[in-house]
Amino acid sequence: MQHVFRLCSVAKLAWNLCTLKIQPENDVHIVLNKWVQQHILLFYREDGKQSNKLAIFIAMLWSIWTTRNARVFRESGSHASMILQQAKLGMQQLEIFKKGNPRKGEENTNEHQNPPGFWLVQLGISKTDFANFVLQVDGSWDKNTTKAGYGWAFRKEDNMTYEKGGGTHGSAKSALQAEAQACLHGLQWAKLRHIANILILTECTTLVNSLQSKTSHDIHIHWTLEEIKRIAQRFNVCTIMKTNRLDVKEAHDITNSCRREGLSFSNTP
């Protein structure tokens, strides 16, 4: 897929010729899904959810895919001009759809919407920006012993690898409580190091849902969630985003070690 969407000669030429002027051969070490994610967040940060650049980017991806399929399955020609033409047609269809389906009260709403395809909550002062400093957090819990471990790891300046930030251990009543405690420990660690903008990655959907919710929660996690929100409000940017297990692998390894071996440590970025 990396080759189809970024590195084949036709796709590269199409990206260079489109209005976004994307250089797909840059940062080839970044896997495709991360490359797409970075551009979605970039355009959302610059222009918001209704970003025209974001729409063009999605249209280009879809056009590259359909053009590729036409070549493979129908033996049609495959040229950069075809990709651009299909993307232009897609944008025209989008405009027609928007005109025919106005969103009631959209122009007057003050609610902040997430970029498409992301499950997150914005808790910092800014509700639309995203930070470059990325922190994985993860909690583990043993139901039989109630022992819990908490770990966090930060992305290094090369944007490719993570380094251990810290970890500790304790007890918890549930897996959710352990995940919440890990997030809180990570925030406290970052605040002590005067980090102003942060993107926190967690694999726990329930944690993100709980932080979004305005309803009351189980007493075992209520005060932890409130403390997360209180500290997060002191950051200029504080985004907590749901991701998959592989994206928090380093933090996951730390939390298991801390729980099993009773470890506590803290490093400086």
| 140-148 long-range Cβ contacts below 8 angstroms, 24+ apart | 140/178, 140/252, 140/255, 140/256, 140/259, 141/172, 141/174, 141/175, 141/177, 141/178, 141/259, 142/259, 146/171, 146/172, 146/173, 147/171, 147/259, 148/172, 148/177, 148/178, 148/181, 148/259
Mean pLDDT, the chain, whole residue set: 85
Query: Which range (64-78, 173-187, 192-206, 218-232) has the least confidence?
Result: 64-78
For the chain, domain boundaries: 2-108, 120-266
Flag the least confident range among 77-81, 142-146, 192-196: 77-81
Quick one: pLDDT band at residue 94, thresholds 50, 70, 90? confident
pLDDT at 100: 58
Return left, alpha or beta for 244; rule: phi > 0 is left, psi -120 to 50 is alpha, else beta: beta
Model pLDDT, residue 118 = 65
Pick the CATH number of 120-266 from 1.20.1250.20, 3.40.50.300, 3.20.20.70, 3.30.420.10: 3.30.420.10
Task: Indicate the pLDDT class of residue 264, thresholds 50, 70 and 90.
Answer: very high
Which of the pair, 43 or 139, is modelled with greater confidence? 139
- Tell if the pTM clears 0.75, that is, is over it: no
The predicted pLDDT at position 43 comes to 85
pLDDT average, residue stretch 68-85: 74
Residue 17 has a pLDDT of 86
Predicted confidence (pLDDT) at residue 34 exceeds the cutoff of 70: yes
Higher pLDDT, 16 or 262: 262
Return the pLDDT at 77. Answer: 64
Cβ pair 189, 202 in contact under 8 A: no
Q: What are 107-134's pLDDT values in tens digits?
A: 444 445 555 556 889 999 988 777 889 9
